[in-house]
Amino acid sequence: MEQELGAWDGEHNAGGIRRLKLIPTTDIISLFDPELHPDVLPYPFIAITNLELADNATILDLTFQRDTAVYSWVVDETPNGEIYTVSVTLEIPRLQQTLLGWFSLNRARRWVVLAEDLNGTCYLIGDPDNGAMLTGSATTGVRAGRNVQRLELQVKQKHTPWLLENLNHLIMLINKSVPLIRITAFRKERYDEEFAFKDTAGNPQDISAHTFYLDVFDRFNYIKLQLQEGSGLLKQNSNVLQAAITTAQMSSLLPGAYRMELYSLREGERDDFLHIAFTVL
């Protein structure tokens, strides 16, 4: 059987990191090794449902200019086996006092780093037991107008680098009051699902007074599809809602990871019922 690897003609291939998020390892309850859970997504992808955050977890967004953040990994043979060194290096213009203060306070912390490149690929660096180490440096006056602070987050690990299915899925982990489930569907095939709602006591929840909507977001957080009652959503009875995405609508979705938000609007107030990590194959 022949296989082809590395083909890239015709595919988007922009270099660089566009977004970075940092989470202290102390704010992550669990992160399942994708090698031990291959039934969710193919290795080395981490499903968002394999990552559990603590209540009120701190998620830090780093702001930077384009072409100033670099992700890299290298593997070395050691007496203890293969060791992968995975890192993100970031350059921030100006010598900022607030950044220096933050660095001083957080230098001893270990981090799980979520990075998304300009092609939409998301990388996960570090885990709760082996977080990325933060180092830094600063330079001014080397060249005219050249002032820069550098931050590097690096981890050494025994497994290949991990990938995250979708950085925007992180939104679903933050709001822990909304249930999160995973659904996989096939492109160019009609998708049907029934959702039965129950209250906190486990009894059927009456949804007859709600008007429901279902938004489907892509990896760039754009709405690709929107269903509503009478157009893709239908109440089967007082506590069951049916969702139907037509073959034509499924064909408009490229293979990949999407986020679904099922919510209702009642008297102008939004009520979130369900978040869905939706994978299209």
**pLDDT (0 to 100) of residue 1:** 60
The number of helix segments (H) and strand segments (E) in the chain equals: 3, 20
pLDDT at position 73 is 95
pLDDT band at 88 (very low <50, low <70, confident <90, very high): very high
> pLDDT-derived band of residue 6, with 50, 70 and 90 as boundaries?
low
Percentages of the chain per state (helix, strand, coil), in multiples of 5: 10, 50, 40
C-alpha separations of 30 from 14, 51, 108, 183, 243 in Å: 32, 6, 21, 21, 31
Whose CA is closest to 139, among 88, 93, 71? 93
Alpha-carbon gap, residue 60 to 134, rounded angstroms: 14
* pLDDT of residue 144 exceeding 60: no
Domain ranges of the chain: 17-168, 177-280
Mean of per-residue pLDDT scores for the chain: 86
List the single range of 49-53, 122-126, 153-157, 226-230 with lowest mean pLDDT. Answer: 49-53
β partners of residue 213: 228, 263
* E strand spans, 94-189: 110-117, 122-125, 132-140, 147-157, 162-164, 180-185
- Please indicate whether residue 43 or residue 195 has the higher confidence score (pLDDT): 195
pLDDT of residue 200 exceeding 70: yes
pLDDT at 237 over 80: yes
Contact of 169 with 261, CB cutoff 8 Å: no
Instruction: Give residue 251's pLDDT band: very low, low, confident or very high (50, 70, 90).
Output: very high
pTM: 0.74
Beta bridge partners of 172: none
Q: Cβ contacts of residue 85 below 8 Å, gap of 6+?
A: 73, 74, 75, 76, 154, 155, 156
Q: Say what the pLDDT of residue 12 is.
A: 66
Q: How far is CA 232 from CA 193, 215, 268, in A?
A: 11, 11, 21
In sign, the C-alpha dihedral spanning 99, 103, 104, 105 is positive
Domain 177-280 class, CATH top level: mainly beta
Mean local confidence (pLDDT), 235-263: 91
What would the pLDDT profile of 35-84 be if each residue is shown by its tens digit?
776 666 778 888 777 888 888 888 998 878 888 899 999 999 999 889 99
